[in-house]
Amino acid sequence: MSRVTRVITVEPGRPDPAAIEEAAQALRDGKLVAFPTETVYGLGANALDPVAVAGIFEAKERPATDPLIVHIAHIGQLNLCAAHVPAAARKLGLAFWAGPLTMILPKKPAIPDVVTAGLGSVALRVPAHRVARALMEMSGVPVAAPSANRFSHPSPTTAAHVLEDLNGRIDLILDAGPTEIGVESTIVDFTVEPPVVRRPGGLTLEQIRTVIPDVQDATGRGSIDVPQTSPGQLVRHYAPRAVLTVYEGEPAALVARLGADIRTATAAGDRVGILAPEEDLLALAPVIASLASAGRVEVQPYGSRRDPERAARELFAALRDLDATGVRAIFATTIGPAGLGAAIRDRLVRAADGRVRRA
Ligand code: TXA
Ligand code: MG
C-alpha cells in the first residue's frame, strides 16, 4: 500500500485552479486525495470507483463495516445518489447545505456497496469549504470521504495532522490551513420517521429543530459511529494514548473533585494532562501552580465556554498536542451540553471510552 504522499498548498478562499485540477484528475485516476472541508480534513476517493474506495479503508485501517460519507457539489446531485428524498430532508438540505450537515437516505444502486458497507442507505453531504467544492465540481464525481485520520485517532484539523497519520499511505494532500469548525458534520438519519440525529456535530440540534421540530436526538445513547455492527455500544474513538477521563458538574464541585484526583494521580508519580476550556483552567490555577513546578502537569486549553466556536475549532489539535507530550492520564472538562457543546462532549466521552465522572 506504500504511496508517495505529495502536499500542495492552496489558498482556502481562492484556491489555484491548476492545483484543484491536479487533485481532481488524481481522483478520476482512482487516487486517494486528502482535502479540507469546513469541519475536518477528509480522505477522498471517487465514490463510483470501488477499487479506489477500498484504498481508503486500507490507508486508514478502517473496518470495512464502517460506511463512508459521500460528498456532492450541490443539492441538485442528491438524486444521483439517493433513491428517495423525504420532504423534510430536502427542507433541511435547502436550509443548511452547503455546510456541516450529513443526511442518511435510501441509496441508489449506482453507489457501490463498499462505500456504504452493504447498507441500503447512503450518507450524503455538501461541504461548504471552497477547496472541497471546487474539487467536486472539477472532478465531476461524487467523493467518498471519511475523516483523514487513522481509524480511532482524533480527526485532523490541519494538513500536518493528516501527514502524521497517513504519510506514505495516500497520494495527495491539499493543504489550505486549519479548518474552520473543527468538529465533524452532524449526521441526521432520514431512513426512520421521525428523523434521528445520529452524531452531534458542527450543525447544532437547536438549529435543526428550527426546520424539523420533531427530530429525535440519539446523542449519548450510542448509535453513533459503526452503528450497524454495534448499535447502542460505545466505541473507543478519537482515542489518545493517555487514559482520558471526562469530568462534569457544578463549577465548585467540579474543581474540588478534579483537584483531588489530579493530586492523587501526581502523588503516585504520574505525569498528567489537563484538557479544559480557559475558565476551568483558571479555576484550577491553584492546583496547577502547586504541581507544575515539579513538571507533573501539562496544561492544554481548548477555547472557552464563552466562545463555543473556538472551543470546537481547537479541540482536536489540543487533544493531539497534549497526547504528544506523553502524559499518562488526561483530565478533561466540557463546555456543557448545549449547542456545539454536544459535539465536543460526544468526542471527549468517546476519547474517554465512556469514563465520565460527575462531581
Ligand atoms: O465532517 C464530516 O462529516 C467529515 C468530513 C470529511 O466530511 N467526515 C467524517 O466522516 O467525519 P467519518 O467517516 O469519519 O464519519 C462518518 C460517520 C461514521 O461514523 C459512519 O459510521 C457514519 O458516518 N455513516 C456513514 N454512512 C452511514 C450510513 N449509511 N448509515 C449510518 N451511518 C453512516
Ligand atoms: Mg472519522
Residue with cell 489530579: 262
Q: Which atom of ligand 1 is nearest to the CA of 122?
A: 29
Residues measured by CB to lie within 5 Å of ligand 2, the ion: 147
What structural domains does the chain harbor? 6-217 (3.90.870.10), 243-358 (3.40.50.11030)
- Bridge partners for 266 per DSSP: none
67 lines ligand 1 (CB under 6 A): yes
Q: Which atom of ligand 1 is nearest to the CA of 121?
A: 29
As a whole number of Å, the CA-based R_g of the chain is: 20
Q: Which atom of ligand 1 is nearest to the CA of 123?
A: 26
Residue 67 one-letter amino acid: P
Q: pLDDT 10s per residue in the chain (359 long)?
A: 689 999 999 999 999 999 999 999 999 999 999 999 999 999 999 999 999 999 999 999 999 999 999 999 999 999 999 999 999 999 999 999 999 999 999 999 999 999 999 999 999 999 999 999 999 999 999 999 999 999 989 999 999 999 999 999 999 999 999 999 999 999 999 999 999 999 999 999 999 999 999 999 986 544 344 333 333 344 567 788 999 999 999 989 999 999 999 999 998 888 999 999 999 999 999 988 888 666 789 999 999 999 999 999 999 999 999 999 999 999 999 999 999 999 999 999 999 999 999 99
**Alpha-carbon dihedral 200, 244, 182, 2, rounded to 10 degrees:** -110
CA 119 to chain centre: 21
Query: pTM score, two decimals?
Result: 0.95
Residue 70 one-letter amino acid: V
Q: Sort strands 41-46 and 143-144 into parallel, antiparallel or unpaired.
A: antiparallel
Question: What distance in angstroms lies between residue 235's CA and the mean position of ligand 2's atoms?
Answer: 12
Residue 84 one-letter amino acid: H
Question: What distance in angstroms lies between residue 346's CA and the mean position of ligand 2's atoms?
Answer: 13
> CA 209, CA 186: separation in Å to the nearest integer?
13
